[in-house]
Amino acid sequence: MSPLFMTLVLAVGLAIFGRTMYQRILLLMALEPADRFNHIKDRLKNMVVIALGQKRLVGRKKERASGIMHALIFWGFCVLLIRSITLYGEGYVHGFQLPLLGESSILGYLYLTLKDVMEGIVLIMVIYAFYRRMVVKPPRLHNTWEAYLVLGLIGVLMVSDLLYDGARFMLITAHGNPGDLHYFNNPTFGQEFLWTPVTIAAGNVISGFSPVGLERVMVLMFWVHIITQLTFLNLLPLGKHFHVITSLPNVFLKHLGYPHEKIKLLDLEDESVWEDETLGVNHLHQLNWKQGLDLYTCTECGRCKEVCPTYVTDKPLNLHDFNDTLKAELYANADNLILRAKLAKTLTGDAEADAKTKEKMAVFKPEKALVGEVIALDTLWACTTCRACEQVCPVTIEHVPRIIALRQGQTLMQGEYPEELNTAFKGLERNGNPWGIGYDKRADWAEGLDVKLMADHPDAEYLLWVGCAGSFDDRTQKVSKALVKILKAAGVDFAILGTEEKCTGDFARRAGNEMMYQMMATENIEVLNSYKVKKIIAACPHCLNTLKHDYPQMGGHYEVIHHTDFINQLITDGKIRVKKSLAGVLTYHDPCYLGRYNEIYDAPRSILGGLSNQGLSELPRHGTESFCCGAGGGRMWMEETIGTRINVERSKEIVAEKAETVAVGCPFCLTMIEDGMKELDKDEQVKTRDIAELVAEHLA
Amino acid sequence: MKILTTVKKVVDVELNIHVENGAIVEKGLQYVINAWDENAVEAAVQLKEANKAETTLVSLGSGDNTDIIRKCYAMGIDNAIHIDDPALAKADSPTFAKVLQKVYEAGDYDLVIAGKQAQDTDAGQAGIMLGEFLGIPCVSNVIEIKVTDDTHIQVSRLGDAGTEIVDVTLPAVITVSDSINEPRLPAMRGIMMAKKKKITVMDLAGLGTSVEEIGGTAPTSGIVEFMPTQKRKGGQKFEGDPAEITAQVVQLLVNEAKVL
C-alpha cells in the first residue's frame, strides 16, 4: 500500500507499546521472586487446556452461553493474528503471502475460509456481547466505558477487514479488476472468493459503489484496520484487557501440584525479619511477581464475586475490586517500586553500609498503608479461604495466598486482627486447642470405648487423628465415636494420640499467625515422627489438608486419608457392610477443604448412594462449586457481624431442596449448618449429620 | 508517673488438677500468667499510653519466668524485675507482700497496680497487705482508673451495692478486677523484639533483704493438705407415665432427700 506510511504507523504503534510493556515488566521484576518455571510440560498442558481451550469459560454449565461467546472471540482473534501479519506485509509488498499459506497450497485457501467465517462469527459475538451488557446486564459484570470501547474496537476490526476484502471482491469480480489487484487464483482451487462467503456478503453491502468509490473504501478500510489494531494493542496494557496479553503466560505460570501457591514457611527465628517487617505482605513490594501478574491479568469478569460466600452475603470483600484496587496502587507506585528494587540490589549484607541504603529505600514507601488504607481490614478478614473464586477464575488468579500473606503481615507485624481470635490463639498456645479447654481432657470423649493410645500401641497401622472439634466439641464427639464404631467393626488396627495430639494449626496459619502454626506443627510432627506414624485417618478436612500439604514443609511426611475415603474403601473391600435403609431426601454439602482443596468428591457420594433408599439428591451448588459454610480461614473463631450469615444462606439452599438429611464431612460444616438450621427453625425437619454417623447407624 | 505492676505465675486452672496423697500431682501441669495480673499489666500499659507513665513489672517466684515477662514486655511494659529465690517456693501472702514492699522501696513509684487475687490460691491478700505495710492507701476490686493530676487518681471500685468512685492520693496500691479491661494479645513481632529486652533478675540478697526479714523461715500460714473436689453424683432419670412419676418423685423427695 504505502511502505512509508506503514513504517511510520508501525514505528509509532510499536514504540509506545514497547515502552508500556517495558515499564510493566520492570514493575514485575521489582517485586519478590517466585519459582514458576519448572515442569514445563505440565505448564504447557495447563495453557492448552485452560487458556487456549477456554476450559473454565466453556466448561461451566451456568455460564455456557457467555463462555462460548468469549471462546469464539478469542479463537477468532487467534486466527486473525495470522491475517494481520499478511496485512502488514501488504503495506510493503503488493500481494504479500505467508509461506505455506499462499495461493499455491490448499492450506492458504482453507485459512482464508477459516478467517472469513471466524470474522463473521466474531462480529455476531460482539453484537451478542453488546446485547448482554446493555440488555441482559448480568449482575456479575460492571459496565465500564472500557468494556464498550474494546467491544467497539473489535467490531471495527472485523467490519474494516470484511469491507476491505468485500471492496476487493467487488473490484475484481464486478469491475474487471481495474487496479490489477492481486488475489488467489490457483487453477486447482479457483478464485479466493469462492472460499469466502462472508466477504461476498460484505461486498454485496457495498455493491452500489463505483469502482473509484470501492477503491477508496478498500484503502480506507485497510488503514482503519491497521490503525485500529495498533490502537487496540496500545490500549490493552492500560486496563482490564491486559488479559489479552497476560492470560496465556498467567495460566502457564500457575501453581502446580496444590491448588494454589502454598503458604510460605516463614523463618521466624531470624531476628532481622521482625525488625525489617519482612514477614508476610505489609507493603506493596512484598507481593511476588506472579501475584503482580495476577493483578495485571484480572479481567474483572466478576465470576469470583458471584461465587464468593462473603460477597453474596453482603460482606465488603469484592474480589475484582480487591484486585483492581491493588493493581491501581501498584501502578501508582510503579516508579518508586522500581527505584526501590534497584537500591535493594545494592544491599551487601554489611549492616552499617546497608543501613544507609535502607534509609534511601524507605523514601520510596507508598503514601498509603497497604492494609487499612488501600485494603480495608474488614475486607481482608472477610475471606473464608474457600477457593470458590480460584476454582472459577478463567485466568487462574490465586486470590487466597495473597489474602493469607496480607493477614500474616497484620497478625505477625501489626498485631491487627479481629479481637475474637485472641481467645482462640490463647487457647491454642496454652492447651493446644482453640476452645482453650484443658489439654488433659483431649481424650475424655473416648472413655469407655476401648480406644488404644499410641503410647500403649505404637505399632498401630493407622493413627486416628481426632482433631480439636472431634475431641472437645460435644456434637463432634459423636462423630468421633461413630468413626470408632466403624473402625472397630471393620477390625482396623488403629490408635489415637490422646493428650499428645494438638491442633494442627490450620486456622492459625490461615489467619496469618504463622508463629502459632509453627508451634503446633513442630510439636505435632515431633510426636508423630517419634511414633514413626505412616498412615493417618482424619475426620476433619482442615486437619487433613494441614497434615497432608503443610506438614511436609516442616519434615512431617504421612499418608493422610479422609475418613470418607477410608470408609468408602472399607465398604468396597467388604470389610463393613451397610444397609440401604436411610429414608427421606438426602443431600450432601461438599466441604471446601475436602472438595476444592483435596478433590475428594466421589467417596462421600459413593457412600451416601449406598445408604439412601432413594438416592442422593444434589444441591444446586455442589462439587467444585459448593458453597462454603462460612467457617474456613479462621472465620470459625471470628464474629460474623457484617451482612447476612453465610451458614444461613447455605442452610436456606438445603431447606429449599426439601432435604431431610444433609450429610457433611467436616466438623466445622457440621456446626455451621446445624446452627443455620436452628436459626431458620428447621433443625427438627433437616438433620445435619456427618457421613460417619450415618454409616455407623446403618451398619449391616 | 512511675507505675509498678506485679505478676505471679500460676497453675493453669483449665486443666484437671489431680491430687494424690494430699499433694498436687505435678506431672502434666502447666503454668501461665495469673489472669488478674494480666489485667493489671494491661491497666498499667493503658495508663502509660494515656499519661506518659513509666511502667515496671515485678514477678516473684522460684524459677524462670522469662516467658511471661517477655509477653508483658510485648504488651508494652518498660522495665522488668524478676525476684527469683528458692525461699519463695512456699511463700504465703504476707511474705510476697514483704518482698513487694522491698521492691517498691528500691524504686520511686507513684502507683502499684496488682491483680486482685491469684488463680491458684484465690487469697486476694498480697496487694492489700502491701498497702498496709507501706502505710499508703489501697483500693481493691478496681474496674476503672482515671488520672486526676500528679498526686491524685480517681478509681471506680466494684462494691456489693454498686460502683464506688474513690479519690485516691498517690502513692497508692490498687488491685484490679478482671472487668477493668480485656488484656491485649501482644503482636508476635512484639514478643520476638522483646527477646532483646533486659530482665533484671535478683534473689532476696540482691534485693537487699533476707529470708528472715521477709518472714520466709516461719510463714504465717502454710498448706497442710490438698483434697480433690467431690465429683457431683449423676442425677436420676424417670421415665413413664407423668402421673406415676410425680408420685414417685414426691415420695423420694419426702423420704430420701428429706426436703419436703
One DSSP character per residue, A377-412 reads HHHHHH-----HHHHH-TT---HHHHHHHHHHIIII
Among all residues of chain A, which has the CA nearest to that of B28? A440
**A456-480 residue pLDDT tens:** 999 999 999 999 999 999 999 999 9
User: Is A614 in the B-facing interface, judged by CB distances under 8 Å?
Assistant: no
Considering CB atoms only, which of A275, A413, A499 is closest to B187?
Answer: A413
CA B258/CA B255 separation, integer angstroms? 5
Percent of chain A with pLDDT over 70: 100
A-interface mutation test, from B15, B18, B185, B191, most A Cβ less than 10 A away: B185
CA of A668 vs chain B CAs: smallest distance (Å): 24
pLDDT value of position A647: 96
User: How far are the Cα atoms of A34, A254, A257, A554 from residue A38, in angstroms, in the given order?
Assistant: 11, 11, 12, 22
* Domain that residue A366 falls in: 271-414
The reply to whether A262 falls in a domain is no
**Cβ contact A647:A629 at 8 Å:** yes
Q: How does strand B54-61 pair with strand B111-115?
A: unpaired
Q: Mean of the pLDDT values across residues A37-63?
A: 93
Region of residue B258 (left: phi > 0; alpha: psi -120 to 50; beta: else): left
Least confident interval from A58-62, A493-497, B189-193: B189-193
Residues A562 and A597 in one domain: no
Q: What average pLDDT does chain A have?
A: 94
Q: Which of residues 401-420 of A touch B (CB under 8 A)?
A: 411-415, 419
Q: For chain B, which residues score pLDDT lower than 70?
A: none
Residue A575, in any domain of the structure:
no
Domain count along chain A: 4
**Model pLDDT, residue A499:** 94
pLDDT of B43 reads: 96
Each residue's pLDDT tens digit, A573-605: 999 999 999 999 999 999 999 999 999 999 999
A495 within domain boundaries: yes
Q: Which of A419, A439, A447, A502 has the highest number of chain B CBs within 10 A, making it the mutation to test binding with B? A: A439
Residue with cell 501457591: A261
Cβ(B119)–Cβ(B7) under 8 Å?
Answer: no
Q: Do B187 and A411 touch (CB under 8 A)?
A: yes
pLDDT for the residue A365: 86
Whether residue A257 is contained in a domain is answered as no
DSSP line for B23-39: EE--TT--EEE-HHHHH
Are A483 and A404 part of one and the same domain?
A: no
CATH number, domain of A385, equals: 1.10.1060
Q: Find the closest chain A residue to B186 by CA distance.
A: A415
What's the mean pLDDT in A338-363?
88
Percentage above 90 pLDDT, chain A: 83
Could you give the 3-state DSSP secondary structure of residue A477? helix
Q: List the grid coordinates of A74.
A: 478469542
- Residue A538 sits in a domain whose CATH number is 3.40.50
Closest residue of chain B to A412, computed from CA coordinates: B188
Q: Are residues A68 and A161 in the same domain?
A: yes
Is B135's Cβ below 8 Å from some Cβ in A?
no
A-contacting residues of B 28-57, CB under 8 Å?
A: 28, 30, 32
Same domain (yes/no): A310, A400: yes
**Cα→Cα distances B126→B88, B122, B174, B209, Å:** 14, 11, 11, 18
Chain B contact for A437, CB < 8 A?
yes
Claim to verify: residue A114 and residue A75 sit in the same structural domain: yes
A18 shares its domain with A92: yes
Q: Is there a single domain that holds both residue A233 and residue A96? A: yes
A553, A671: one domain: no
Is B194 in CB contact (< 8 Å) with chain A? no
* Cell numbers describing residue A516: 502459632
Residue A479 lies in a domain: yes
Q: Which of A52-56, A81-85, B103-107, B227-231 has the lowest mean pLDDT?
A: B227-231
Which chain A residues have a beta carbon less than 8 Å from that of B196? 271
CATH number belonging to domain B2-202: 3.40.50.620
Q: Is the pLDDT of residue A362 over 90?
A: no
> For position A379, what pLDDT does the model report?
95
Closest chain A residue by Cα to residue B189: A413
CB A266, CB A284: distance < 8 Å: no
- Considering the domain architecture, whether residues A88 and A191 belong to the same structural domain is answered as yes
In B, residues 92-121, which contact A (CB 8 Å cutoff)?
Answer: none
10 Å Cβ neighbour count for A281?
26
Mark out the alpha helices in B13-152 (DSSP H runs).
Answer: 35-51, 66-75, 93-106, 126-134
CA distance A415 to B190: 8
CB contact residues (below 8 A), chain A span 260-279, against chain B: 268, 271, 274-275, 277, 279
CA distance A485 to A604: 18
Q: Does A633 reside within a domain?
A: yes
pLDDT reported for residue A571: 97
Given pLDDT bands bounded at 50, 70 and 90, which one contains residue A378?
very high
Mean per-residue pLDDT for A161-179? 91
For residue A180, pLDDT over 90 is answered with: no
- Is the pLDDT confidence value at A496 over 80? yes
DSSP-derived letter for residue A371 is: B
Q: What CATH number is associated with residue A118? A: 1.20.950
Residue A361 in grid coordinates: 529505600
Domain membership flag for residue A389: yes
Whether the per-residue pLDDT at A258 is higher than 90: the answer is yes
Domain ranges for chain B, please list them. Answer: 2-202
Cβ–Cβ contact B67 with A under 8 A: no
Q: Specify whether A615 is located in the same domain as A544.
A: no
Q: Which of A412, A419, A499 sits opposite B189 (nearest CB)?
A: A412
Closest CA to B85 of B223, B222, B210, B220: B210
Question: Is position A457 within any domain?
Answer: yes
Q: Are residues A637 and A559 in the same domain?
A: no
Pairing of strands B31-33, B23-24: unpaired
What is the spatial distance between Cα A303 and Cα A298, in angstroms, rounded to a whole number?
A: 11
ipTM of the complex: 0.71
CA distance B30 to chain A (A): 8
Contact check, Cβ <8 Å, A268/B30 = no
